[in-house]
């Protein structure tokens, strides 16, 4: 079964950086638009970043100029580089392939705190 597996989260101080990875089995990454969501406790998932199959990107206003989404089709992996992290970025981060019915992965916890 095709799966999405997120990793790379952790505890970081404000102003720090993290790089999240989303590894997919099969050819999901190169054939579908890929997105990163995040979920705050008790809230629904919000879209953070989107990359099309052609490489175009789009971001939520709250992360624009701080986060960068990228993809490595050969490694079937999508990345989210997060710089200048703020406490309000603390959330569980998930990736997804748009237009598929793949189940959600386990997510990766990002905690920004001093």
| Tens digits of residue pLDDT in 72-109 | 999 999 999 999 999 999 999 999 999 898 888 899 99
For residue 73, which phi and psi values (nearest 5 degrees)? -65, -35
- Whether 18 and 9 have beta carbons less than 8 Å apart is answered as yes
State pLDDT tens for residues 69-80: 999 999 999 999
Q: What is the pLDDT of residues 24-73, one digit of tens each?
A: 987 888 899 999 999 998 999 999 999 999 999 999 999 999 999 999 99
3-state secondary structure of 52: coil
CB 20 within 8 A of CB 93: yes
Which residue matches tokens 């052609």? 54
* Per-position b or e across 93-111, b if 16+ CB within 10 A of its CB: bbbbbeeeebeebebbebe
């Amino acid at each position: 079964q095709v799966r999405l597996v997120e990793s790379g989260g952790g505890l970081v101080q404000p102003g720090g950086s993290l790089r999240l990875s989303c590894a997919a089995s099969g050819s999901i990454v190169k054939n579908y638009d890929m997105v990163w969501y995040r979920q705050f406790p008790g809230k629904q998932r919000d879209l953070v970043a989107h990359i099309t199959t052609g490489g175009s990107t789009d971001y939520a206003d709250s992360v624009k100029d701080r986060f960068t989404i990228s993809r490595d089709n050969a490694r079937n992996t999508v990345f989210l580089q997060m710089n200048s992290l703020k406490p309000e970025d603390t959330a569980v981060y998930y990736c997804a392939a748009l237009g598929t019915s793949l189940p959600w992965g386990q997510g990766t916890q990002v905690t920004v705190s001093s």
